[in-house]
Chain A
């Protein structure tokens, strides 16, 4: 009995068990051991059991494997629970769960975020432009501006490089965005404008919400580099913050170059199916690495119903919408173990 109990979750065993019943019933029917009405009733019962125990779980397993193969974010736990065809497939999925555990994936994303931050630090253009600005400021005016710039740069690097895995308040993240923007403004001057907007009555609650560190700044940077930098007129950037009963909605908009439908679709596909895409090299070649990284960290922390989505029209601009649960304490995180 315990042998059956252990194995009844597997489709292969269910098929075998029902087949045995069918054969037995066939023999009993043929030998007229049991009346035909009982045979018919038993066949119907076996068909019903087959539908519930075999066909439906089979279709569900098929659907899961198909989505997984298409690159959608299916957790390995879910796979091992729903796709168990035999003990060996169960073991396979257990193994997969080990490999693709949220902690490991988060760690991989964390390392990548640090890499991105370091890349910023050593980006020669970034440093060159910033230092050039400092130099010209020093030449043309007093030393106050130079001090301000240097301070901004130091603040930015300090925030960016330390403890990337931490959660911070929206207020802290916005401050970092403003610091980053102030550095960029020395380069772009009045050609770049940033506004932060939220309903005044919700401001305190929004600013208290906890979000992963470096959620907004990489997107803001993307908006400047890919959106407004190449624009001839003044580029307007805006961060809209909204809080609903359960969610925090952040929209980072630019009125820059935008992108065509095909590019937009490809970026959203990367975001929508992203948990494992971080390990793929193709992301780096096609761009959107920062977006995928932020999206992955959000999904790994809060679940795959949250994350990023991009909207864009060529010549009109791009919006990146970030959706997260509205939490004010680090204890409320769904997958808090990934932070340890």
Chain B
């Protein structure tokens, strides 16, 4: 007889007058890996908060380990012992792995720390999962994969019977993700349950026993992975798949005779080894790496902030230090949080870095008014009068990408553009990148996980440590042994 680790029965809750969860029903048994596929982000944050802190309910019941921990009648708001692991780790970077796992526990009462004892305690855990991480390494020095492993171990050691994983794969490559899946299965066999949240069904299918589809704060269906086909969620992915199909069938830009506007020739630095690639106008190149730090180094080399050990950058076949805004533009990871200025108006945000094209833009109000009139048709009239932090997520993305489009750079670097985006937003971002490509810009996507990027790519370059980089053209995608969402569509058109 299995224990029911979590049961949420007809849970409804609201925050600031907005219903976040509405008749939410889910049950997770011990040793079960339950996938959660949200069609949209609605209610997801409220769900995680509710699971951890038992926030007040409008209606419904929550049971953890078969005990009622929260009801609409009486919300004690006590914390549940549930581990939460997200792509941004909550570990303390300045402490060692052993300290994070053992010392930062509420039950840890020892005053005198003995690293040798902690090392000994950690060893059996690492041996059982067949992954080696030094107990004395500072968490700040770990890779994203190792951080997830430490996070899981921390939750296991803390006695959590349910561990929630939210979009952990965005910074982890496929091979490492497989190791994480093995790790989860190992602990699931020992009775620990997992709620694995991700926006890609293909990923959930690899590891989960069941997959729950969440839409507008409700679970609409729970499918057993063994009996589930991608067609099960066809209604929700039809529009996206249609766009991808259209993209796959378009002619390859290089084949249509366009010369490269950007070329990296044998770039070598601390983390990058002899990287060469070209990007033609209207071409989408995806650079995949297992180490997120490579992106930072690559971007600083490309933007001229740091000098590579060897190699050079060519813009329009001429060696040059690229000019940000004029030659290249960088759309950072989670751009709505990193690239918008709340203190500036919508229009000022839109005109940011435009002075290389229109030097008078900040002095001449008429130019800015002209831009407003021109883009009101594209972005909507209302948005110009709104505060930037009052915009919806989609409007914020539109603002960032349109700003880049106005700058008309030759090449746009997008760092993990689909990260944290739900299905609806991903479609939108996809459309915005497509808009940049249609305007003749080259787009270079820097990604760890290929999930959505591959659907836009004309060329894929996999940056390998201590190995030559692997280059794939679009016609070769179908032969790749990866489980990206749209890989079947490439196979179908083969």
Q: Does B77 contact A (CB under 8 A)?
A: no
B219 touches A311 (CB 8 A): yes
Of A246, A311, A317, chain B has the most CB atoms within 10 Å of the CB of A311
Q: Does B218 contact A (CB under 8 A)?
A: yes
- CB closest residue in chain B, given A258: B221
Residues of chain B within 8 A of A313, CB atoms compared:
213, 220-221, 232-233, 235
Residues of chain B within 8 A of A305, CB atoms compared:
9, 61, 68, 71
Of B2, B66, B221, chain A has the most CB atoms within 10 Å of the CB of B221
Q: Does A314 contact B (CB under 8 A)?
A: yes
B59 touches A72 (CB 8 A): yes
Q: Given A246-B66, A309-B10, is A261 in contact with B222 using a C-beta cutoff of 8 Å? A: no
Q: Does A249 contact B (CB under 8 A)?
A: yes
Docked complex Cα distance between A205 and B2 (Å): 12
Docked complex Cα distance between A315 and B223 (Å): 13
Q: Does A312 contact B (CB under 8 A)?
A: yes
**Neighbour of B4 across the interface among A67, A205, A244, A265, CB < 8 A:** A244
Residues of chain A within 8 A of B2, CB atoms compared:
199, 242, 244
Docked complex Cα distance between A67 and B10 (Å): 14
Docked complex Cα distance between A202 and B2 (Å): 9
Residues of chain A within 8 A of B9, CB atoms compared:
305, 309, 323
A315 touches B234 (CB 8 A): yes
Mark interface residues in B45-83 (1 if CB within 8 Å of A CB, else 0).
000000000000001010000101001100000000000
- CB closest residue in chain B, given A268: B23
**Neighbour of A67 across the interface among B1, B59, B223, B235, CB < 8 A:** B59
- CB closest residue in chain A, given B229: A316
Docked complex Cα distance between A319 and B228 (Å): 14
A244 touches B29 (CB 8 A): yes
Tell me the minimal C-beta distance from A104 to chain B in angstroms.
Answer: 23
A247 touches B4 (CB 8 A): yes
**Neighbour of B3 across the interface among A67, A244, A264, CB < 8 A:** A244
- CB closest residue in chain B, given A312: B221
Residues of chain B within 8 A of A321, CB atoms compared:
25, 27
Q: Is the interface of A mostly helix, strand, loop or mixed?
A: mixed
Residues of chain A within 8 A of B221, CB atoms compared:
311-313, 316-317, 319
A261 touches B66 (CB 8 A): no
Residues of chain A within 8 A of B68, CB atoms compared:
305
Residues of chain B within 8 A of A323, CB atoms compared:
7, 9
Residues of chain B within 8 A of A245, CB atoms compared:
1, 3-4, 66
Within 8 A of A (CB), among B1-58: 1-4, 7, 9-10, 22-23, 25, 27, 29
Tell me the minimal C-beta distance from B479 to chain A in angstroms.
Answer: 31
Mark interface residues in A290-321 (1 if CB within 8 Å of B CB, else 0).
00000000000000010001011111110101
Interface bracket on B: 20 to 34
**Neighbour of A272 across the interface among B7, B10, B71, B222, CB < 8 A:** B10
Size of A's binding interface in residues, CB under 8 A:
31
**Neighbour of B1 across the interface among A244, A268, A317, CB < 8 A:** A244
Within 8 A of A (CB), among B192-218: 213, 215-216, 218
B222 touches A265 (CB 8 A): no
- CB closest residue in chain A, given B56: A63
Q: Does A210 contact B (CB under 8 A)?
A: no
Within 8 A of B (CB), among A235-258: 242-247, 249
Q: Does A269 contact B (CB under 8 A)?
A: yes
Tell me the minimal C-beta distance from A253 to chain B in angstroms.
Answer: 9
A249 touches B27 (CB 8 A): yes
Q: Given A67-B59, A245-B66, A313-B235, is A264 in contact with B220 using a C-beta cutoff of 8 Å? A: yes
A244 touches B66 (CB 8 A): yes
Mark interface residues in B213-253 (1 if CB within 8 Å of A CB, else 0).
10110111111000000011111000000000000000000
Docked complex Cα distance between A311 and B213 (Å): 10
**Neighbour of A311 across the interface among B7, B22, B222, CB < 8 A:** B222
A202 touches B4 (CB 8 A): no
Tell me the minimal C-beta distance from B210 to chain A in angstroms.
Answer: 11
Q: Given A272-B10, A311-B221, A321-B25, is A316 in contact with B232 using a C-beta cutoff of 8 Å? A: yes
Residues of chain A within 8 A of B234, CB atoms compared:
315
Residues of chain B within 8 A of A317, CB atoms compared:
221
Residues of chain B within 8 A of A67, CB atoms compared:
59, 72
- CB closest residue in chain A, given B222: A311
Tell me the minimal C-beta distance from A264 to chain B in angstroms.
Answer: 6
- CB closest residue in chain A, given B218: A265
Residues of chain A within 8 A of B218, CB atoms compared:
261, 265, 268
Tell me the minimal C-beta distance from A17 to chain B in angstroms.
Answer: 27
B23 touches A243 (CB 8 A): no
B1 touches A205 (CB 8 A): yes
B222 touches A319 (CB 8 A): yes
B23 touches A311 (CB 8 A): no
Docked complex Cα distance between A15 and B225 (Å): 59
Docked complex Cα distance between A319 and B212 (Å): 12
Tell me the minimal C-beta distance from A200 to chain B in angstroms.
Answer: 12
Docked complex Cα distance between A265 and B218 (Å): 9
- CB closest residue in chain A, given B5: A244
Residues of chain A within 8 A of B71, CB atoms compared:
305
Docked complex Cα distance between A321 and B233 (Å): 20
A202 touches B23 (CB 8 A): no
Tell me the minimal C-beta distance from A330 to chain B in angstroms.
Answer: 21
Tell me the minimal C-beta distance from A328 to chain B in angstroms.
Answer: 13
Tell me the minimal C-beta distance from B392 to chain A in angstroms.
Answer: 21
Q: Given A245-B1, A305-B9, A321-B25, is A314 in contact with B219 using a C-beta cutoff of 8 Å? A: no
Tell me the minimal C-beta distance from A283 to chain B in angstroms.
Answer: 18
Residues of chain A within 8 A of B216, CB atoms compared:
261
Residues of chain B within 8 A of A201, CB atoms compared:
1
Tell me the minimal C-beta distance from A232 to chain B in angstroms.
Answer: 16
Of A247, A313, A317, A323, chain B has the most CB atoms within 10 Å of the CB of A313
Within 8 A of A (CB), among B343-382: none
Docked complex Cα distance between A309 and B72 (Å): 18
Tell me the minimal C-beta distance from A326 to chain B in angstroms.
Answer: 9
Within 8 A of B (CB), among A41-79: 67, 72
Of A205, A264, A305, chain B has the most CB atoms within 10 Å of the CB of A305
Within 8 A of A (CB), among B444-487: none
Residues of chain A within 8 A of B22, CB atoms compared:
265
Docked complex Cα distance between A269 and B25 (Å): 12
- CB closest residue in chain B, given A240: B224
Docked complex Cα distance between A244 and B5 (Å): 10
Residues of chain B within 8 A of A311, CB atoms compared:
25, 219-222
Tell me the minimal C-beta distance from A296 to chain B in angstroms.
Answer: 14
Docked complex Cα distance between A261 and B213 (Å): 12
Docked complex Cα distance between A319 and B219 (Å): 12
Residues of chain A within 8 A of B220, CB atoms compared:
261, 264, 311-313
Within 8 A of B (CB), among A180-225: 199, 201-202, 205
Closest 7 CB pairs of A and B: A244-B4, A313-B221, A309-B25, A311-B221, A272-B10, A305-B61, A316-B232
- Excluding A244-B4, A245-B66, 14 further A-B contacts by CB distance (< 8 Å) are A72-B59, A201-B1, A242-B2, A242-B29, A244-B66, A261-B220, A264-B220, A268-B23, A268-B218, A272-B59, A305-B61, A316-B221, A321-B25, A323-B7
Q: What are 26 inter-chain pairs, A to B, with CB distance below 8 A? A: A67-B72, A205-B1, A242-B2, A244-B1, A244-B2, A244-B4, A245-B3, A247-B4, A247-B66, A261-B215, A261-B220, A264-B220, A265-B22, A268-B10, A272-B10, A272-B23, A305-B71, A309-B23, A311-B25, A311-B220, A311-B221, A313-B233, A313-B235, A315-B234, A316-B231, A321-B27
